């Protein structure tokens, strides 16, 4: 099987049910292990982080092991199939298949939505200082530099989620259902991180109920928009890393008020609704109904 040519066909399809994507056929095993292992490691780290004498080295090891676990699970399911190995290799380097507008969207969409939300928050009484650079990060990560976890997480996560997990769901379901199911799983996947003292998710929980609910809700439009860009870019993995990284960095470099992030989520919900409506063939149609990235009628 020619993995490269089949990938091009998939990129032009709606729900990515092709003979190639159908080979990603272990969704239950992948998501069970990719969730259960981090949960055990991170809940343990959370318990230790709140003890009287926390072992910071062990907490850091548990935290990093949980982050790397889904990528390791994905590789264990791919490595024995030379076709999947070839497909993964191609999707890591097929940068030329990314339409320019989708490459720009991957980098600019999330920071742009945050800046627009910030502008909308000013008439509501929030400070213009939100446009200033933070000059640091709002969280710590124990012994690990916070900037390292901020930038490393998008890389290792997307190598798992879009290296195996997303296509494993899309091999059975529409991209719409794939996105919603994955968003639920991903939101739950983050839950134990909220127990590790000093971690970003823990800081979100301590900020209050609105910030916590917003974080969980924001996962849904985030996944929908990322999968849209992913499938319109030839199932390219680096484009999802760029999207995820831009969101992480954009949300940390400014002095953004937590309420403004709720406005950002509302904007992303509206945008994702427009995208899903305009891209009905991609999200709901049969494989042959989708359009290739270069033929997409979406203009933003």
Question: Which among 157, 158, 252, 279 is annotated as catalytic?
Answer: 157
Question: Residue 128 has which token pair?
Answer: 């213009």
- Residue 272's contacts (CB-CB under 8 Å, 6 or more residues apart) are 220, 221, 224, 225
Mark whether 157 is an active-site residue.
yes
- For residue 11, give Cα distances in angstroms to 143, 171, 206, 262, 282: 41, 13, 42, 33, 10
Q: What's the length of the chain? A: 300
Residue with tokens 């800081």: 203
Give which of 171, 140, 181, 157 is closest to 247, Cα–Cα.
157
Across the strands, what pairs with 141? 144
Mark whether 252 is an active-site residue.
no
Asked whether the beta carbons of 97 and 11 are under 8 A apart, the reply is yes
CA torsion, ordered 110, 115, 119, 120, to nearest 10 deg: 10
SS3 251: helix
SS3 110: helix
The residues that are catalytic are 157, 190
């Amino acid at each position: 099987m020619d993995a490269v040519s089949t990938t091009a066909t998939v990129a032009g399809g709606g729900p990515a049910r092709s003979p190639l994507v159908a080979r990603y056929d272990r969704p239950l095993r992948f998501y069970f292990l990719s969730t259960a292992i981090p949960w055990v490691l991170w809940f343990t780290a959370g318990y230790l982080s709140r003890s009287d004498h926390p072992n910071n080295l062990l907490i850091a090891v548990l935290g990093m092991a949980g982050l790397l676990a889904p990528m390791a699970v994905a590789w264990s399911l791919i490595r024995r199939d030379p076709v999947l190995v070839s497909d993964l290799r191609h999707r890591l380097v097929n940068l030329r298949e990314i339409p320019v507008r989708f490459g720009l969207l991957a980098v600019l969409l999330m920071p742009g939505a945050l800046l627009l939300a910030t502008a909308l928050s000013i008439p509501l009484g929030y400070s213009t200082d939100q446009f200033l650079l933070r000059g640091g990060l709002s969280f710590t990560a124990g012994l690990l530099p916070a900037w390292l976890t901020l930038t490393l997480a998008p890389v290792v996560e997307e190598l798992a989620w879009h290296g195996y997990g997303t296509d494993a769901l899309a091999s059975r379901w529409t991209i719409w259902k794939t996105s919603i199911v994955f968003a639920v799983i991903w939101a739950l996947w983050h839950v134990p991180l909220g127990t590790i003292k000093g971690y970003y998710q823990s800081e979100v929980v301590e900020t209050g109920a609105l910030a916590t609910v917003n974080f969980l809700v924001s996962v849904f439009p985030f996944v929908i928009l990322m999968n849209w860009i992913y499938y319109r870019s030839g199932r390219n993995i680096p484009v999802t890393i760029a999207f995820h990284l831009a969101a992480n960095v954009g949300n940390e470099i400014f002095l953004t008020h937590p309420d403004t992030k709720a406005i950002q989520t509302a904007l992303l919900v509206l945008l994702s609704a427009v995208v899903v409506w305009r891209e009905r063939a991609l999200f709901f149609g049969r494989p042959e109904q989708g359009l290739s990235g270069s033929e997409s009628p979406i203009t933003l």
